[in-house]
Structure 1
Amino acid sequence: MHRTPEGPAPLPADVRAYLDELVRRTRTVCGPHLVSVLTVGSIALGDYRHGRSDIDVMVVVAPTLPGAALAGLAGVLAHPALPCPATGLELVVHDRDAVGRPSGGAGYLLDLNTGPLLPNRASFDPARSPAFWYVLDRSIARQAGRPLFGAPAEQVIAAPADADVLAALRASVREHTDGEGHLADNRVLNGCRSAVFCRTGRWTAKRAAAREIAASEAGFRPVVEAALASFERPRGTAVPLPPADVRAFLDWVRERVDATGSLRH
């Protein structure tokens, strides 16, 4: 259940145990209203890096879930009430009826960020959050979400419309171009994943996408390879990258996203 789709190696034992306990607590709080618990992000795409990656989880619940249960869930899952062995937990709860329809909005019931390297934040108002993060998460979940409990992703999550995914990619590239709050290596690797998605229509793990871009785009190979090397290090020892090179690369990615949008209209 916890094996990655790209190989037989399991996740670290403490991460597996953490996910088991997360599911147990989520089932206890949500009871019969729980529909699915899915891993998304790096775990789903087979590229979890212990000491660098967050644990990304999507929870789908029935619309009959009492509103008070959301605050209760945030309380029992927040670090250190449930000690997170990764850099952080990013968990989003969606209503089954809402997530079963294509949408370009954030649309969550609960967005919980918590962990050793993440400030504790529990949001219950999707209007307060940029929508693009959640559109991209749902697109990745639809393709690659790995069930920890309940119905598989393709049965409960509708794929966002192409136009909404491309709009979310544009917003993501803008966010990473500005760079505030993001490590340079992760900004570059996110750009690589966006560029490969534009080529293939499929989500690829960040490091695999970076290797593809390094092989095909000689002009950007130095900054991409530097980002890959830095990404192998813990977050606290990430290597700074030349700001002008990072911006030039992300400008190129934005052009790829814009060109893809033009081709699809």
Structure 2
Amino acid sequence: MSRPLLPPRELRPYLDELVHRTRAVCGPHLVSVLAVGSLALGDYRHGRSDVDVTVVVDRSLPRRALPELADALAHPALTCPAAGLELVAYPADLAAGPSGEAGYLLDLNTGPSLPERVSYDPREAPAFWYVLDRSLAHQCGLPLFGRPVRDVIAAPERPTVLAALRASVREHTEGEGHVADNRVLNGCRSVVYCRTGHWFAKRRAAEVIAASEEAFRPLVTDALRSFERPRESALTLPGPAVRDFLAWVAARVDEAVEAEGGRTG
């Protein structure tokens, strides 16, 4: 039997304090605290990766507690040792269903390499980020406190996830502020999800695509080399090659949608 995945040693004191402060603010309304993203996939890279955390609370949590929680966890009030903290708090009733909504109560981005952002209104953000967040959390969320992940986070339905992937690829193609290597590696992960129905770590997904798609192997290899570096010193990847790759990724997602009978939601 495999041993349960543990957070990297350099993050454990930080995560312990994050859970302690979250419990102090939320009290009996706290259901679960889960590590997601690269931590849950076993692909955290110190100095490059964010710490991704999902918090599930009972909807009876007083609204005043949300700004208190954001203040308690914001860097540098709680010094983040990673590139940043991306924390999303969901109400338990929404998280327990296969929702295609953003649906969060709190979305907090903070840390030394992240633009500071606090939102309490899910209408302020595109829903696709949160659908993908919950899909990955359901598959492999790492419990830090409370009830097990499968008890509290439902898997969004595949057509809903594919629609979210469509929007994600569009954002990485057209949006500003994304590191080029991350755009490529997220594209690799999107294609591997379409093929397998499972989330792979970015580097593992990139290895799969590099092995199977000779035309894109040089770009994906360069993206992997860049991903080994701190975010501030990422390599410059050729823009036309990145756009061509993301157009190919978009076509693979469209094929997966068509295979589902065109149902997305």
The two structures have a TM-score, normalised by structure 2, of: 0.96
Aligned to 2:232: 236
Matched, 1:103 2:111: no
Distance 1:262 1:178 in 2: 23
Q: Which runs of 5+ in 1 are unaligned?
A: none
Which structure 2 residues correspond to residues 118-157 of structure 1 after superposition, within 5 A? 118-157=114-153
Distance 2:94 2:130 in 1: 13
Aligned to 1:214: 210
Distance 1:254 1:21 in 2: 40
Q: Does the Cα contact within 8 Å between 1:179 and 1:187 map onto a contact in 2? A: no
Distance 1:35 1:237 in 2: 39
Matched, 1:202 2:208: no
SS of corresponding position for 2:115: strand
Aligned to 1:252: 248
SS of corresponding position for 1:187: helix
Which structure 2 residues correspond to residues 77-116 of structure 1 after superposition, within 5 A? 77-116=73-112
Matched, 1:12 2:5: no
Which structure 2 residues correspond to residues 16-27 of structure 1 after superposition, within 5 A? 16-27=12-23
Q: Does the Cα contact within 8 Å between 1:4 and 1:11 map onto a contact in 2? A: no
Q: Which runs of 5+ in 2 are unaligned?
A: none
The two structures have a TM-score, normalised by structure 1, of: 0.96
**How far is the alpha carbon of 1:179 from its aligned partner?**
4.4
**How far is the alpha carbon of 1:12 from its aligned partner?**
3.4
Q: Does the Cα contact within 8 Å between 1:4 and 1:45 map onto a contact in 2? A: no
Residue identity in the other structure for 1:86: A
Residue identity in the other structure for 2:9: P
**Same amino acid, percent of matched pairs:** 67
Segments ≥4 residues shifted beyond 2 Å: none
**How far is the alpha carbon of 1:23 from its aligned partner?**
0.1
Give deviations 1:146-188, integer Å, cap 9, x for gaps: 0000011110111111111001000000011124100100000
Which of 17, 29, 47 is matched with 1:51 structurally?
A: 47
Distance 1:121 1:200 in 2: 34
Residue identity in the other structure for 2:143: P
Which structure 2 residues correspond to residues 65-76 of structure 1 after superposition, within 5 A? 65-76=61-72
**How far is the alpha carbon of 1:4 from its aligned partner?**
7.3
SS of corresponding position for 2:116: strand
SS of corresponding position for 1:56: strand
Distance 1:111 1:257 in 2: 27
